[in-house]
Every structure is written in C-alpha cells, then in structure tokens.
Structure 1
Amino acid sequence: MSTLYEASRVEWAEREELAERMIPLIGRLYRRHGIVPSILGRRLINRSPIEILRAHRFTRKVGDQVLSPVKTMAVLEALERIAPGPASIDVARLVTEFDKVGVSYGGRELEAFLQSELAEVIVADRSTPTDVVLYGFGRIGRLVARLLIAHQGSGDGLRLRAIVVRRGSEDDLRKRAALLRRDSVHGPFAGTIEIDEEANTILANGTLIQVIYAEDPAGVDYTAYGIDDAIVVDNTGRWRDEEGLSQHLRANGVNRVLLTAPGKGDIKNIVFGVNSDDISSDDEVISAASCTTNAITPVLAALDDAYGVRRGHVETVHSFTNDQNLIDNFHKGARRGRAASLNMVITETGAAKAVAKALPQLKGRLTGSAIRVPTPNVSLAILNLELGRTTAKDEINAFLRQTALTSPLRQQIDYSESAEAVSSDFVGTNRAGVVDGLATLAEGDENVVLYVWYDNEYGYSCQVLRVLERMAGVHPVILPHREPVPVEAAIKEELATA
C-alpha cells in the first residue's frame, strides 16, 4: 500500500511540474502570436497548473484515455517553433489525429503534421486593432469588460478604450472601479486595478480605460480621446430600435453599434454560431439577442438539422434581474413589482419568438413563458418539443453529447451528466447553454423534453464577445477543422461505447 501511495504521489508531482512548465509557453504563444490553446474547448490561457490538469482529464468524455500532458507539451513546443498566426487551436484534437500517424513525438514529423493541419494560419496576416467602447457599465458591461481585458493578448484584436456612464456621485469613478474589482457572483477581478481621478481613467491589467460621463450618445467626441472607428457596445437597453441606437453613429469616432439585448424591427439578432455568418461589413447596428435566446437557439438548431422541430414550448426558470424590486414596490410590469428575493414570479419572455430571427424556419413553431426565481444568476430553459421523427433518451443524449464535443456548435453547447449538478455549478460557464443529459425525457416517440442550464450573465457575455470579434474580423479560426458529426454516426459511436 505504501509503495502505491508513494508512486501515486510522485506521478502527480511530475504531472503538476509539467503543467507548471506549460504556463509560460502558453502565455508566449498567446501574447506573441495570438494563439489560443485549448483542450476540447477548455482554454488553457491564464489557468493554474491544477486547472490545466483538470482540462486534460476532461478528454475522458470522448474516450477512455486521459490526454497525456507530455503530448500536450510536445505540441505546444512545436507550435512555438513553427509560429502560426492567430488561431484557436484544440491541442486534444491535434494529439488524436497525430496519434493515428503512429510516429514519435520527438521527431520532425510532429512539426510537419502541424504545418499541414494549420496551413491556413501559418502565413496569416496580423489584424488591425479595433477600439471598443462600452456604453453602460452594469452586469453585462462589467463582464464584457473583464473578458476584453483578459483577451488583450498581443493587442492585435479588440481594445477596450472607454466606458460611458452617467455620473452617479462625486466618487463615481472609485465606485465603478470597485464594482469591476469585486463581484458577488463571479468573484474578484483576476488582476490589478488602479484609478486616476484627475484623468478619469481605470488601469486594469495594463488596459487603460477612459471613463466618459455623458447623457447624450450623439454628443460624445471619442476622437478627443484617441478613439476612432470604434464599435460601441450598448449595455443600457434604453434603445432597441435602429433609430435610437443610431444616435451612437452620430458621435465622432464611432463606426458600428452592438446591442446587448433583443433588437426590434429590422435589426439583425445574432446568435453566434447559428447565424453569425449573416454579419456583414455593411451592418452598422447589430443585436446580440438575449441570454435565453443564445442558450436555446444553438440546441434547437442542432435538433432541427438532425431531427426536425415541428413545434414546442420553452419555459425559462430565470434568475432575478435588476429590473425587479428587492421588496414590494411599484413596477410598470405585471408581477415584477413583488419582492424578487422572496417570490417566484410568472412573467413573459420573447425568447421563443426571437429564435425565429436566427432560425427563420422555426417561425411560429415555438411558444414561451418565464418564471423569475430568487437566485442571483444561472437560469434553466425547459424545451418541450415535438420532433420530426422518433427518438429515445440514449439516442438524443448521444447526439447532443457529440454535438457539444465535436460539432461547429461546440463553443455554444456543453453537455453534463452529473447527478449532483445544481445551478451554482454552472456559474462561469463560457458556453451559451449546457444540456443536462440526466434530466432528458424521451420515450421512443416524437416528444422530448430537454433541460438546458445557462449562466445568463457570463455565458451570454462570452457570446457577446464572439459577436464583437466577428464584427471586427478578429474572431480566431478554430483548428483543426472537423466536419459536423452526422446524427447517425454520433449515435452509433456513443451507444457502442455505452
């Protein structure tokens, strides 16, 4: 027993040391070349050695073997030698494909393999930085700010240059910085924050953010702060139509506008991964839709493509938000005036109808309603669907699991089969939605009920960032390329190993 104990301890120490050696290498790849290494979608940037090893164990979801850190290290070292351009590179998939070649990781074959797999970014040009302004600095604005700061990399992508707010008090700047520094739900800011009250700036991890106080979107001269051709991210929700949001375009230095709420009229409502290819360089105003629309649309898109969705009802169990009252008080909306922290509140949601803006083929097929509940974050969408053909629980779960791991929607959909998972376990997930496989109901006919968890703050903010990157033309290509797994193939593979 003691021998086994010592062997386990030594093995762990060796793996932890290897993960520690990866950290500076991962940092250099990111900051010098714009390379974002990941393991089945789990980013390795700014991760601790323990978190890196946990990402390696995640690979058991697609096979029996845990990804070897030795192989990961070899791939990372080879990537630094060949120095490809900016890309999101899945190390686990590269290892899987290279293992099929059947040669040693110590020779030149690995470099030749990587040059072939990553050919499209080997000679990629560096992108021109794009300035970003956050108009409003509430829940979503601060999380998008955290993400933009964390994604600075080599500085060739998105650059957070300013936030625009209405002055709330004499010590407004200090309070804004404090809210960025500490968050009751998402924890402390990962880094350092300094403020300059004379210049009205916040310096966060080397990112200098100008704080601008203004009441009129059109009246701000951003060029006076060295900001030009910027994308304004409107987090206020005050304007949702093109006329209102176009006020930003009349400000000096603004090029485009992104709304972090459902847009009205002819504004494109973009759910990244589903209809993000519809973004055009001619689009001046775009909406990133809502958190719920982002959570359910990718799942519905995958199901409609594989099975067909005839009709359905979406019930969202949604955490309370700032538009509700802490205690009973007047509210212009029905029921929302009652105490958010004490009640479940039946209310409306436009998410079901909004799905049709991203998936026009589902127009008129979905209904929706919502219940606000006394939790501060993480919501649950219950999809009660009639599909175009029969299915069973094991079959549809196999399909959704493979969709989350291998399809083009793997940045949007995650999959869980934890019997102990509850809402707080999904705080901080960077996917738009997480399918709870154990809760799936399907009895071998066309009817299925799916439960989809989503961090309605952070997960949605990640989707907003992806839309921003696409608007700026800096969203990293995801390599290696893999074709979507057909439902029949996914089912066959999954059930064969069950």
Structure 2
Amino acid sequence: MPTRIAVNGLGRIGRNQLRLLLARRSELELVAVNDPRGPRALAELLQRDGHSGPSTRGVRFDDKHLFLNGHAIRMFTERDPLRLPWAALGIDIVIESTGAETRSDDARKHLSAGARKVIMTVPTAGDDGTFMRGVNEHTYDPTRHHVISSASCTTNCLAPVAKVFHEAFGIDAGLMTTIHADSTDLLLQDIPHSDPRSAGGKGTKISAGDTGAALAIGRVIPELEGRLDGFALRVPAISGSITHLTVTASRPVTVDEVRAAYETAADGPLKGILRCADDEIAIADTVIDPHSSILDAGLIRVIGSQVKISAWYDDEWGYSHRLTELAEYVAERLPA
C-alpha cells in the first residue's frame, strides 16, 4: 500500500515537496497539507513560482482542497498540530516544513495527532536523529527514530564533500564559509531583529551570520565532531549558493588526487547527490539542479596538506530532492 504523506507548512521547501511528491513515481501518496494562509494564496504561489517558473500542472482550489493536475489534496489551516486529523486520514509521515517548529517537542504533536513519523526540515535539538541521504541514512532505526531531522540545505551540501575527503585523506580540522542566497529571515527595512546583522538592508548588502552546518556535521559524521566550524554570508540572490571548505588533511595531497576522489564518489556511492563539474560554472548553472553538492573541480586549491574545496548548490531544489528521498527511505522501513 502507498505510504500516506502530509506536508505541514507550504513555504519554499513545502511547495517544492508538493511538486516532487506528485512528479516522482514512488509509493508516497500526498494526502493532505496544512498552512494557515489558505488554499487561494497557496494555489497562486504554486501556479506562479518566481524561482522555478510557472507550474506545468493545472492548479485549482476550493475551500477544503488544492487540486494539482487533477490530484485532490486535503487542505487545512490549523496553527496547532494537535488539531490536525492525521489519525482519521491514516497519515504515516508528516513533513514538517514550516521552519517555525524548530523544537522536537513541537514536532511530536504530529505524533499525538496520529502520524507515525515526522521529518523536520531544520536542524533541531532533541530529535531522535539527523539523517542525510548518501551520508548516514543506514543508521536510521525505525523502532527508535520517530521524529527525525533532515538538517539544513547547507549541511546537505557540506556533508557529502566532507565525507568524501575525510574517507580518502582524513580531516584534522577545517573551516567552512557558505555564500548563501537571501532568506526570509533577513529584513528589508530597519526593524529590530535577534541578529543585528539581519536587521534591514535585504537585497542591498552582504550579511554575515552563524550557521549550524559545520557543527551539525558531527551528528551525521561522528568522526568529525568538533573538527569543523564556520559561518554564512548572505548575498542578494534569489537562489543558488556555494560552500567553501578549507581543511587540514592528515597528509599532503595533490589537486589530481582530490579531484579523482570526488569523481569516483560522484560516479559511485554518491551518484545523484554529488556532481563533479569540470567546466567553469556560475551560480545560474546550479539553479534547479537536484544535487546536494556540485563540486567545482576548477576551484580545488592545495598547498601541502592545506586544501580548499568549493561546492555549489541550489539551496531549495537540491535540498528538497534529498528530503523527498529521505521520506521514501523512511517509508520503505515503516513497521507493518
């Protein structure tokens, strides 16, 4: 039987999930969505996407449904997950993509409402585990892991890059910087913000800030716990980002060795997750690319055991693909 899916929160990631769940031929059945903004506003956003373009599917709505290419999706506008009828609808997995539910205790309300599993689209403390396709999904245990995190888009870019390098050459320590497209957390007007760097000027400046990506690596690659750190630079771009990872290798290496390691991984265990780009790509070449990491082979730099690696990523589309694949992985392992 198909695994019944609900999506809570139809922001950028949530709407991508709708597109992917309906486009992929898998055993995931999109049954319901929840977003307080209601069906009319969401139908308009699904029909006309300023980043990925207009929908090729017919989009309609009524008071209780969204219709995408004839597929009826039950629509709710609840703010409290406990009020959602997941038990009555037989929901197996909730994709928690509001971005607001950052605590695992909040996400567990979906379990209380009747769902069997919850996948959070943000890094969080107190969840049952963080899992990434191609990195550590083999450690997922359906008997213990009920509320899980798929981490962040930047962590999903960084982790495959760090994994390949560490397995091939060893990482003693490293620093990363992500040059990241604007996000909704940055403010246009000068308004008080918990992070003063984000309080105004969106679209006109580069904003520095923390990123949990480097620290989260230890959750999916335990051997790298405490060995990586870094920060983010937000730039005026709709989408498309790049992560620079500078590491001290356990031994001196060459550019050719590093490049060969990534080419082997991209053609093998990380196929579809990591892409090794030989040409001189730019940010526009990475938009709507489904890979988590697009390694720029021309930007590999080496001085002895000091190595700099750069990987591009579409911070929305690539991450959304991994999220859908993680849901498929969890679905295949649901207890009978």
Taking structure 2 as the reference length, the TM-score comes to 0.95
Q: Residue 300 of structure 2 corresponds to which residue in structure 1?
A: 440
Q: Residue 328 of structure 2 corresponds to which residue in structure 1?
A: 469
CA–CA separation in structure 1 for the residues paired with 2:152 and 2:87: 31
From the superposition, tell whether residues 411 and 179 of structure 1 become closer, same or farther in structure 2 (CA, over 3 Å): same
Question: Which consecutive aligned stretches of 4+ in structure 1 deviate over 6 angstroms post-superposition?
Answer: none
CA–CA separation in structure 2 for the residues paired with 1:201 and 1:381: 39
Amino acid paired to 1:149: L
Q: Which of 123, 126, 142 matches 1:265? A: 126
Output one character per residue of 1:259-311: Cα deviation in whole Å (capped at 9) or x when no partner.
00002135311111111112222221010001010001011111111111111
Q: Which of 281, 305, 321 matches 2:167? A: 305
Contact 2:180 2:234 in 1 (8 A): yes
Q: Which structure exhibits the higher relative contact order, with contacts defined as CA atoms closer than 8 Å and separated by 6 or more residues?
A: 2
CA–CA separation in structure 1 for the residues paired with 2:105 and 2:40: 34
CA–CA separation in structure 1 for the residues paired with 2:168 and 2:79: 49
The DSSP-based 3-state class of the residue aligned with 2:142 is coil
What's the Cα RMSD here?
A: 1.6
The DSSP-based 3-state class of the residue aligned with 1:335 is helix
List aligned pairs for 1:310-329, cutoff 5 A.
310-329=172-191
Q: Which of 5, 26, 35 matches 1:165? A: 35
CA–CA separation in structure 1 for the residues paired with 2:205 and 2:241: 15
Q: Residue 389 of structure 1 corresponds to which residue in structure 2?
A: 251
Instruction: In structure 2, list runs of 5 or more residues that go unmatched.
Output: none
Output one character per residue of 1:336-383: Cα deviation in whole Å (capped at 9) or x when no partner.
112120010111111100000000000111111111111111111000
Contact 2:241 2:314 in 1 (8 A): yes
The DSSP-based 3-state class of the residue aligned with 2:5 is strand
List aligned pairs for 1:91-490, cutoff 5 A.
128-151=1-24, 153=25, 157-166=27-36, 168=37, 172-197=38-63, 200-224=64-88, 227-252=89-114, 254-282=115-143, 283-405=145-267, 407-419=268-280, 421-443=281-303, 445-473=304-332
Output one character per residue of 1:166-197: Cα deviation in whole Å (capped at 9) or x when no partner.
1x4xxx42211111111111111232222233
From the superposition, tell whether residues 446 and 297 of structure 1 become closer, same or farther in structure 2 (CA, over 3 Å): same
CA–CA separation in structure 2 for the residues paired with 1:334 and 1:467: 35
CA–CA separation in structure 1 for the residues paired with 2:321 and 2:23: 12
Q: Whose radius of gyration is greater, 1 or 2?
A: 1
From the superposition, tell whether residues 329 and 241 of structure 1 become closer, same or farther in structure 2 (CA, over 3 Å): closer
Segment of structure 1 superposing worse, 214-223 or 424-433 = 214-223
Q: Residue 487 of structure 1 corresponds to which residue in structure 2?
A: none
CA–CA separation in structure 2 for the residues paired with 1:456 and 1:159: 25
Output one character per residue of 1:81-131: Cα deviation in whole Å (capped at 9) or x when no partner.
xxxxxxxxxxxxxxxxxxxxxxxxxxxxxxxxxxxxxxxxxxxxxxx2011
Amino acid paired to 1:297: A
Q: Which has the higher strand share?
A: 2
From the superposition, tell whether residues 474 and 129 of structure 1 become closer, same or farther in structure 2 (CA, over 3 Å): farther
The DSSP-based 3-state class of the residue aligned with 2:223 is helix
Q: CA deviation at 1:223?
A: 4.5
Contact 1:390 1:446 in 2 (8 A): yes
CA–CA separation in structure 1 for the residues paired with 2:158 and 2:316: 15
Output one character per residue of 1:376-410: Cα deviation in whole Å (capped at 9) or x when no partner.
111110000111122111221122122212x2111
From the superposition, tell whether residues 229 and 165 of structure 1 become closer, same or farther in structure 2 (CA, over 3 Å): closer
Taking structure 1 as the reference length, the TM-score comes to 0.65
CA–CA separation in structure 2 for the residues paired with 1:470 and 1:274: 13
CA–CA separation in structure 1 for the residues paired with 2:309 and 2:288: 21
CA–CA separation in structure 2 for the residues paired with 1:439 and 1:190: 36
CA–CA separation in structure 2 for the residues paired with 1:328 and 1:182: 29
Instruction: In structure 1, list runs of 5 or more residues that go unmatched.
Output: 1-127, 476-498
Aligned residues: 333
List aligned pairs for 1:4-19, cutoff 5 A.
none
CA–CA separation in structure 1 for the residues paired with 2:282 and 2:118: 36
Contact 1:383 1:450 in 2 (8 A): yes
Q: Residue 14 of structure 1 corresponds to which residue in structure 2?
A: none
Q: Which has the higher helix share?
A: 1
CA–CA separation in structure 2 for the residues paired with 1:213 and 1:452: 38
CA–CA separation in structure 2 for the residues paired with 1:356 and 1:380: 21
CA–CA separation in structure 1 for the residues paired with 2:110 and 2:220: 25
Q: CA deviation at 1:239?
A: 2.6
Contact 1:271 1:293 in 2 (8 A): no
The alignment-based identity, stated in percent, is 31
Output one character per residue of 1:25-69: Cα deviation in whole Å (capped at 9) or x when no partner.
xxxxxxxxxxxxxxxxxxxxxxxxxxxxxxxxxxxxxxxxxxxxx
